[in-house]
Every structure is written in structure tokens, then in C-alpha cells.
Amino acid sequence: MTKIAILISGRGSNMEALVNAIKSGKLDAEVCFVGSDNGNAKGLQTAHELGLDTIVFSYGEGGGSNYSKRKAEETMLQAMSEKNVDWLVLAGFMRILSKDFVERMEGKIVNIHPSLLPSFKGTHAINDALMYGVKVTGVTVHFVDEFMDHGQIIAQRAVEIKEDDTLETLSERVHRIEHSLYPETLSKLFIKGRKFNGQ
Ligand code: GRF
């Protein structure tokens, strides 16, 4: 069974979808802990209620200095090594990981993003796609490197934007796709290993 750690910063709905997939036998994995840079993240409470171990990695005040980022990452590496974590799964984690951290994880970090990358990187991807007027957006699962929403793409799924979509209706459909694409993709990835190309 693949051992994973999940990092979140907010709501944690993707984390919850992964846990549900594990419980229903669709994803053969064990969650060693749910970590966050934000002690007030709603998802931490959800993780706690689901009976999962939670850890807060402090990045310091005001966005954090390079020093506090390095300390936070060292603490993460330590926690992952103690629990023999195989894969680090980012699910709404709002920090960029350092090159050093990424290299030490040897390509075993994945992320989900609510657009068809490389379009609409960043925090407001769903709204940005809607405002730009594209007719199709979607969801991307990708390997993580030291750049924002960047790294080899593993899987993508399109979501059509309708004429009368609002941020709320479009977000709802995008998140629904995220909640199925992430567990499906990770399930294949954990079976096939690093060379998985989405097929
Ligand atoms: C998701 O849209 C994910 O793609 C992005 O951040 C959002 C996190 O949502 N990286 P949640 O915390 O999983 O509900």
C-alpha cells in the first residue's frame, strides 16, 4: 500500500475526496498525515474528524522568510521520513516548495490545479478562465517542481464553460471533476510509478 501525506491550506475538499476514495477501495493508499501551513484551515478540522493525524508547519508571520520556509520544509521532510511517506500529495497547498525540497522528494510530489495548464496558473484560475471568456477550462494533475503550477502534466480533464455560468456554478463543476480525477489519477500513478504518462 502506498503511503501518502496530504498538504492543504484551506477547505480540504480534495483531501476529503481522496480519503473517501481510500475508504471505498478505489485508491490503495494510506494517509500518514494531513499537513498545513495554516493552523486555521477548515480542512484540518475535517481531517481531525476523519481520524487522521494532522500537523501544522509554521512558515512564520507575513508570508515567511527564507529561513522560516527552510525550517518548515525541514520539519515536513522529517515528518515524512519518520512515517515512511512515499508520495506527497498537494491539495490546495498555497506555498511554493523549494528546489532543494523538490529534489529530495525525487519527483514524488503531485498537485491538482483547477485549469487546463499551462493556461490560468495561480490562485484565481477558475475565475480567470471565466473572465477571459474561454469556452473550455478544466483540471490538471501534475508533478510538482519549484515553480508555481508547473511540472510535467500527468492527467487533464476538460470542463465546458456555459453561456450562463457564474463563478459559483463553474466552480461547482470544476471541483466535482477534481474530486474524481485526483483519486483516479493517483490510483494509476501509484501502480505504474514515476513513468506514468496519463494513458
Ligand atoms: C482546488 O481547486 C485545487 O485544484 C487548488 O486549490 C483548490 C483547493 O480546494 N489547488 P480544496 O481545499 O481541496 O477544497
Per DSSP, the residues of 143-161 read E--SSTT-S-EEEEEEEEP
Q: Give the chain's mean pLDDT.
A: 94
**The three three-digit cell numbers of residue 93, written as one number:** 497547498
How far apart are the CA of 14 and the centre of ligand 1, in A? 6
Residues carrying an active site annotation? 113
Residues lining ligand 1, judged by CB closer than 6 Å?
A: 8, 10-14, 43, 91-92, 112-114, 178
Q: Which residue has the higher pLDDT, 66 or 83?
A: 83
Ligand 1: atom nearest CA of 178 is 4
How far apart are the CA of 122 and the centre of ligand 1, in A? 11
CA-closest residue to ligand 1 atom 1:
92
In tens, the pLDDT along 99-117 reads 999 999 988 999 999 999 9
In tens, the pLDDT along 121-179 reads 999 999 999 999 999 999 999 999 999 999 999 999 999 999 999 999 999 999 999 99
Please state the rounded mean pLDDT for residues 46-70. Answer: 88
Q: Is pLDDT at 192 greater than 60 in this prediction?
A: yes
Q: Is pLDDT at 199 greater than 70 in this prediction?
A: no
Please state the rounded mean pLDDT for residues 42-53. Answer: 98
Please state the rounded mean pLDDT for residues 46-69. Answer: 87
C-alpha span between 78 and 138 (Å, rounded):
35
**The three three-digit cell numbers of residue 94, written as one number:** 498555497
* pLDDT reported for residue 60: 82
Q: Which of 20, 40, 37, 38 is nearest to 29 (CA)?
A: 20
Q: Is pLDDT at 56 greater than 70 in this prediction?
A: yes
Query: Is 1:29 a contact under the CB 8 Å cutoff?
Result: yes
Ligand 1: atom nearest CA of 90 is 10
* pLDDT reported for residue 195: 46
Rounded to two decimals, the pTM is: 0.94
63: pLDDT confidence band, cut at 50, 70 and 90? low
Compute the 3-state secondary structure of the chain and give helix, strand, coil in percent, each to the nearest 5: 40, 20, 40
**The three three-digit cell numbers of residue 163, written as one number:** 453561456
Task: Tell how far CA 159 is from the center of its chain.
Answer: 19
* pLDDT reported for residue 62: 58
Ligand 1: atom nearest CA of 12 is 12
